[in-house]
Chains A and B, each alone.
Chain A
């Protein structure tokens, strides 16, 4: 599961991420990280079963956490299976199936939005 972490001026100055890993013993995969002097935004991937526990721990340390649930949507009416999206998605949401149709695995999506503009048929969107 993908979790978005928002750090404020206090939490960004502490080794919150490392602390959470050590204390929960859960492996976190960092998908995207933007860390600035006064704030930060990190997207992590964790085992679905341990997600709640990890989120609780982050909240204890003052980090705003939210599950990424509304992910990229593909309109199958518009898609012609050209595959333009395949190579641009940083987390490989899109794959070519055996019968050469573009399949999407939105569970991996981090809402980065790169694919949206790449689709020549505007078949991809990020809801709300």
Chain B
């Protein structure tokens, strides 16, 4: 039976009785799995070529693995077709479409050909083996956006000012959530992969229980476009929706208990993508039952929620697996090795500095400062930007030397509150300078006040940013 039915059986009979009654529980998931792709072997041409670079419908695949092998990744974008990437090539291959193959050769005595351009279909390939380094996330943090502009991310469109929440994964139906100790899902376990029978190769990259992942493989030639679908997230790029299912043998009462897991027990963070850092702040925690309800409360307001994985398709996979297990078409296999129950994902170190280590002192003025006085402060401190603050150093606006030049040209005078820019783009002490550089370019500005819990604590100008970026490059 499916994991959905198992939960009902357990609440009816209890785990002991359920473990006696039920042999196999099937699971499924269907969602965006960016870390996917396939090894393709094109066969040798005459005269032969050692492919140095290769493109499929102008999507570049990785070579460097002998002469006519390549790995095509799902998120690689086409150089000529818009909204099209590696994922689309994979789907088109499965659909039986012809794909344009272009390759540059590295000429050697044994591989004299310099280039090749031809059309290939899936049946022309010797092997087309899907190998996905990171699939089937056990659970995944949800996303929201506190910034003032809409963001286009791999978690889809995030509306400004916490306007919506998106999440991925199917919660209690997902394979790894039903086997959290990885007793039955491990190295060598047979799985449903894209409509074909596939296998678990081991833990996926960035495997970090309970955010476990799987590395999987399967034969692209046996897959179906019902379960492998190319997708495109505008502003992010292409990705592959993959259907994966696992059949879990109920070995004992413990295993039965594990498959009884409920959406309420699976908790993730809602992460604020409005902060463009690796470690994004948490808006709040939420469980999959709340997320699936379609509405969630944030700061006392109801916010609508979009799932990004298809629960409908995941359920269909679990149901299909039940039939395949019953008819003997899908045989269960014990893992030949375990995937780790503990693992930590490390981050990439890089030399880009944070704002707090390079920012300069801000010359702060109040709103009733005269324009005359502001211009004197600018000259005296060699400053072109003066943040205007109110009580407790809270930012009200900013006055630039350009603002002053304008009023002087017009022969006006008065308070700075009259001429300041009120909608100010700001930075945070923990932000990296490359993000600041991006903001400067985006908004056409040359300095940002640095804010820490609403207070102005400094100023970062294009001068500090360019210095820090030059140093990072050395």
A→B interface (CB under 8 Å): 80-88, 92, 95-96, 99-101, 114, 117-118, 120-122
A-B contact count (CB 8 A): 73
B303 cross-chain contacts in A, Cβ below 8 A: 87
CA distance A96 to B311 in the complex (A): 10
Tell me if A88 and B159 are in contact (CB < 8 A): yes
Whether A117 touches B234, Cβ cut-off 8 Å, given contacts A87-B166, A99-B312, is: yes
Are B157 and A82 interface neighbours, CB within 8 A? no
- Known A82-B31, A99-B312; judge A87-B306 contact (CB<8 A): yes
Q: Is the CB of B306 within 8 A of A83?
A: yes
The answer to whether residues A121 and B231 also contact, given A82-B308, A82-B310 and a CB cut-off of 8 A, is yes
Choose from A80, A86, A99 the contact partner of B305 (Cβ within 8 Å).
A86
Bound complex: CA A92 to CA B306 (Å)? 12
11 more A-B residue pairs beyond the given contacts A80-B310, A95-B294, with a C-beta to C-beta distance below 8 A: A80-B229, A81-B312, A82-B241, A83-B310, A84-B308, A87-B306, A88-B157, A88-B159, A88-B306, A99-B312, A122-B232
The distance in angstroms between the C-alpha atoms of A99 and B314, with both chains bound, is 12
Q: Any chain A CB within 8 A of the CB of B432?
A: no
Tell me whether A118 and B156 are in contact (CB under 8 A). yes
Are A84 and B312 interface neighbours, CB within 8 A? no
Q: Within 8 Å CB of B304, what residues of A?
A: 86-87, 92
Q: Which B residues are CB-close (under 8 A) to A121?
A: 229, 231-232
A105 to chain B, nearest CB (A): 14
Interface of B is mostly: strand
> Contact between A80 and B30 (Cβ–Cβ < 8 Å)?
yes
A82 contacts which of B234, B294, B305, B309 (Cβ < 8 Å)? B309
With contact pairs A87-B164, A88-B159 given, residues A100 and B312 touching in the complex (Cβ less than 8 Å): yes
Q: Which residues of B contact A82 (CB under 8 A)?
A: 31, 241, 307-310
Can you report 30 A-B residue pairs in the complex whose CB atoms are below 8 A from each other?
A80-B30, A80-B229, A80-B241, A80-B310, A81-B310, A81-B312, A81-B313, A82-B309, A82-B310, A83-B308, A84-B166, A86-B304, A86-B305, A86-B306, A86-B307, A87-B159, A87-B303, A88-B164, A95-B294, A100-B310, A100-B311, A101-B312, A114-B157, A117-B234, A118-B234, A120-B32, A120-B233, A120-B241, A120-B308, A121-B229
CB-defined contacts of B310 to chain A, threshold 8 Å: 80-83, 100
Q: A64: shortest Cβ distance to chain B, in Å?
A: 30
Known contacts: A80-B313, A100-B311. The answer to whether A86 contacts B294 by CB under 8 A is yes
Chain B residues contacting A117 (CB-CB under 8 Å) are 157, 234
Interface residue range, chain B: 20 to 34
The reply to whether the CB of B315 lies closer than 8 angstroms to some CB of chain A is yes
**B224 CB, nearest partner CB in chain A, Å:** 13
A121 to B239, CA, bound (A): 10
Residues of B contacting A83 with CB < 8 Å?
A: 306-308, 310
**For the complex, would chain A's binding face be called helix, strand, loop or mixed by DSSP majority?**
loop
Give complex CA distance A122, B91 in Å. 15
By Cβ-Cβ distance, the 10 closest A-B pairs, closest first, are A120-B231, A87-B164, A87-B304, A87-B306, A81-B312, A83-B307, A100-B311, A100-B312, A86-B306, A117-B234
Q: Which of B83, B241, B311 has the most CB of A within 10 A?
A: B311
| Chain B residues in 8 Å Cβ range of A100 | 310-312, 315
Complex interface: chain A residues within 8 A of B164 (CB): 87-88
* CA–CA, A83 and B155, complex, Å: 12
Q: Return A9 CB to nearest CB of chain B, in Å.
A: 30
**Whole-angstrom CA separation of A82 from B32 in the bound complex:** 10
CB distance from A80 to the nearest CB of B (A): 5
Residue of A nearest to B295 (CB): A87
The closest CB in chain B to the CB of A99 belongs to B312
Residue B261, interface by CB 8 Å: no
